[in-house]
Structure 1
Amino acid sequence: MTDAAPLHLLPTAPTPRELGFAMPPEWAEHQATWMSWPADDELWFGHLAGVRDEFAQLVRTIARFEPVHLLVRDEESEQDARSRLSGANVTYHRVPLDDVWIRDNGPMFITQGQPTPHAPLSLVNWRFNAWGGKFHWEQDDRVPEYVAGWLNLPHWDRPEVLEGGGLEVNGAGVGLTTRSCFLSKARNPGLSEEDYAALLRGALGVDKLLWLDGGLENDHTDGHIDTITRFVDPRTIVTSVAEDPNDANYPVMQKNLADLRAMTDLNGDPFRIVELPLPAKRLEGAEGRLPPTYANFYIGNGFVVVPQYGDPNDARALEVLRPLFPGREVIGLRSRAIIEGGGSFHCMTQQQPVGQPWTGEAWKGQ
């Protein structure tokens, strides 16, 4: 790692795809996980102490399997994190922050070819505007530049708003998203489904972009895909279902389920679709209904962490997911305080695939 300013590749440069880069799937081997420490009690509606308890358990669990890079915004945050995480495999970074949702404001890592310890590693820096200006975002929008600088990664800066929680990839050329999120006028007004397909093909190597209509009720992300529907391998998709026909989520999830069953991969073959129950109990927060979901799990080196809410369906969700991750320990961790902020484990993590910092040499001569 160096303090040298990394090379910025603007949209006029060759695209990542043109240089052989693509976004690996989450289950590919990680070099580390990046996270941001919770720090603002107002954002957590007075639940910060409980959030930090649950977040510390999440960090400790991940750090058992792979290194964690933890962003801390001030002295109090760093001292609190260090006191809770003593002995854990954590590297601390003092970085100005607005919030904790690094899945959305952090970088999207890409590798040249398959992710291996020697594969060239880079990233794409998208704009972040807190899901259409719903919260403060200016500090969080700078996080990808910090990460690129710390890793000394030449990288691409994109002018579009794009959040990591809004896109799932299967590592075999297929991406999955929702219209309610990507087509929101508060993100990239004027971009069509076809425009996004072309953009993600060039930037992340997504050859086929599949669309669901929407997500969970009262999800401030406007329906991120990672709260409802996830790839667990190149051919298998788990998707959330509501079991109460009177639940507002029921018709939306049923429509998603039907649409997924009609979708195909690059070869025209259907996916294996696995239904994952939503929590049975309705949870209310300071701003109305909360969007708890088991689909917001995080896949790492030898493990999967799944949010738990003290709900009758907690154990059922683990039973559904465990057979889908052979060779990985599927771990349920409490997320009842964390969900007060509107997200859970996947929203709070960003994987760094294995690889070596790309030198940019393949581009400099063009």
Structure 2
Amino acid sequence: MTHLTPQDPTPRDLGFAMPPEWAPHAATWMGWPQDDELWFGHLAGVRDEFAQLVRTIARFEPVQLLVRDEESERDARARLQGANVTFHRQALDDVWLRDSGPIFVTRGKQLSLINWRFNAWGGKFEFQHDDQVPEYVAATLNLSHWDRPEVLEGGGLEVNGAGVGLTTRSCFLTPTRNPELSEADYAALLRSTLGIEKLLWLEGGLENDHTDGHIDTITRFADERTIVTSVTDDPQDANFAVMQRNLQALREMTDAQGRPFEIVELPLPEARLEGAEGRLPPTYANFYIGNGFVVVPQYHDANDKAALERLRPLFPGREVIGLPSRQIIEGGGSFHCVTQQQPLGAPWRGEGS
């Protein structure tokens, strides 16, 4: 297994790029929830919802599940008996593998990954164990890969698989991540590492999102030309103005060939949810796309059904499934935040392999 550094040929130099989420998966990587304090006393309910999510994903593709300790593994095995799940004992601080896990890249039928630094959204929580997850995955899969010095979280970036990336200034430009990087610097970095030829910027995300406004909680690619973006009808909601600015900006954006996108408005949940640390950021945009399915978080909200109806036509050939996330959202994220897709591909073990 080779470790490549910024001084070595970049992924783009060698023909690697980040595929879109709807490309075929070999597996989904996840971590099992632990530590009742992290979940503000909701761990039992969180594990109930996690079990439903893991079992649903495992109907369509293998799940690679990280478990922190003996208690976590025992609990997960009991709840997931018979499901297509492989268990890995690995130290974890939390379960947000979209951000702490690797970002995979492919070249034809070959698979590699990039190990970015993870600092828990600017040092907000413990992260030393989670920062080691990409190396564990690389070793497990025996992948030669790139080690990068920059902080980057998968939930902060959307790609369409055709050269376009989408992010938010409120997240990427925080001084607690990479204070030395400008918008132009990020564009160059993501071009060389992930094959993003055109990086598009929205201003911000949801109120009280501890990630500083990850793109995957508000605005998602459904395919190369279709963008789903969150909106609210309530002008008194603190999210109203931000979501409207995002909507208007998206309507003026174009793809790598200069063509406008199709923009689909997705309602935010109607009810305001309060958690232990203030307002929670529930959203239907935090869906996860897999092999033949899309799982969409539900919150026992009046807009749950409308969100599913809005999303179903966008994913022909995939079963769009609503699952409960009312307990999971207590931790600040939902289904996309706790998953990381492993694209289909044979392990790359260095140039010429």
Task: Give the TM-score, by structure 1 length.
Answer: 0.96
Matches within 5 A, 1:178-189: 178-189=168-179
Q: CA deviation at 1:129?
A: 0.1
Quick one: which of 133, 138, 147 aligns to 2:123? Answer: 133
- Structure 2 match to 1:20: 15
- Structure 2 match to 1:360: 350
Farther-moved stretch of structure 1 (315-324 vs 353-362): 353-362
- Structure 1 match to 2:38: 43
- Structure 1 match to 2:75: 80
Quick one: which of 92, 96, 118 aligns to 1:97? Answer: 92
- Structure 2 match to 1:279: 269
Q: Secondary structure at the match of 1:24?
A: coil
Q: Secondary structure at the match of 1:196?
A: helix
Q: CA deviation at 1:246?
A: 0.4
Matched, 1:106 2:101: yes
What CA distance in whole angstroms lies between the structure 2 residues aligned with 1:176 and 1:345?
19
Q: CA deviation at 1:243?
A: 1.0
- Structure 2 match to 1:228: 218
Q: CA deviation at 1:103?
A: 0.2
Q: Secondary structure at the match of 1:311?
A: coil
- Structure 2 match to 1:55: 50
What amino acid is the match of 1:286?
A: A
- Structure 2 match to 1:32: 27
Q: CA deviation at 1:242?
A: 1.0
What CA distance in whole angstroms lies between the structure 1 residues aligned with 2:176 and 2:261?
32
What CA distance in whole angstroms lies between the structure 1 residues aligned with 2:351 and 2:242?
47
Q: Aligned-pair RMSD on alpha carbons? A: 0.7
- Structure 1 match to 2:312: 322
What CA distance in whole angstroms lies between the structure 1 residues aligned with 2:291 and 2:274?
34
- Structure 2 match to 1:249: 239
What amino acid is the match of 1:92?
A: F
What CA distance in whole angstroms lies between the structure 2 residues aligned with 1:222 and 1:242?
19
1:19·1:362 contact (CA, 8 Å) conserved in 2? no
Q: CA deviation at 1:359?
A: 2.2
Matches within 5 A, 1:263-302: 263-302=253-292
What amino acid is the match of 1:192?
A: S
Q: Secondary structure at the match of 2:337?
A: helix
Point out where structure 2 has 5 or more consecutive residues left out of the alignment.
Answer: none
- Structure 2 match to 1:67: 62
Matched, 1:237 2:227: yes
Quick one: which of 293, 308, 314 aligns to 2:298? Answer: 308
Q: CA deviation at 1:16?
A: 0.1
Farther-moved stretch of structure 1 (6-15 vs 313-322): 6-15
Q: Secondary structure at the match of 1:61?
A: helix
Q: Secondary structure at the match of 1:305?
A: strand
Percent of aligned positions with the same letter in both sequences? Answer: 79
What CA distance in whole angstroms lies between the structure 2 residues aligned with 1:343 and 1:361?
38
Matched, 1:196 2:186: yes
- Structure 2 match to 1:3: none
What amino acid is the match of 1:139?
A: H
Q: Deviations over 1:230-263 (max 9, x none)?
A: 0010000000001100000000000000000000
What CA distance in whole angstroms lies between the structure 2 residues aligned with 1:179 and 1:55?
31
Aligned residues: 353
What CA distance in whole angstroms lies between the structure 1 residues aligned with 2:318 and 2:211?
29
1:67·1:89 contact (CA, 8 Å) conserved in 2? yes
What amino acid is the match of 1:111?
A: T
What CA distance in whole angstroms lies between the structure 2 residues aligned with 1:190 and 1:90?
41
What amino acid is the match of 1:88?
A: A
Point out where structure 1 has 5 or more consecutive residues left out of the alignment.
Answer: 1-5, 114-118
Q: Deviations over 1:160-182 (max 9, x none)?
A: 00000000000000000000000
- Structure 2 match to 1:9: 4
1:68·1:89 contact (CA, 8 Å) conserved in 2? yes
What CA distance in whole angstroms lies between the structure 1 residues aligned with 2:110 and 2:61?
20
What amino acid is the match of 2:222?
A: V
Q: CA deviation at 1:190?
A: 1.6
What amino acid is the match of 2:280?
A: L
What amino acid is the match of 2:272?
A: R
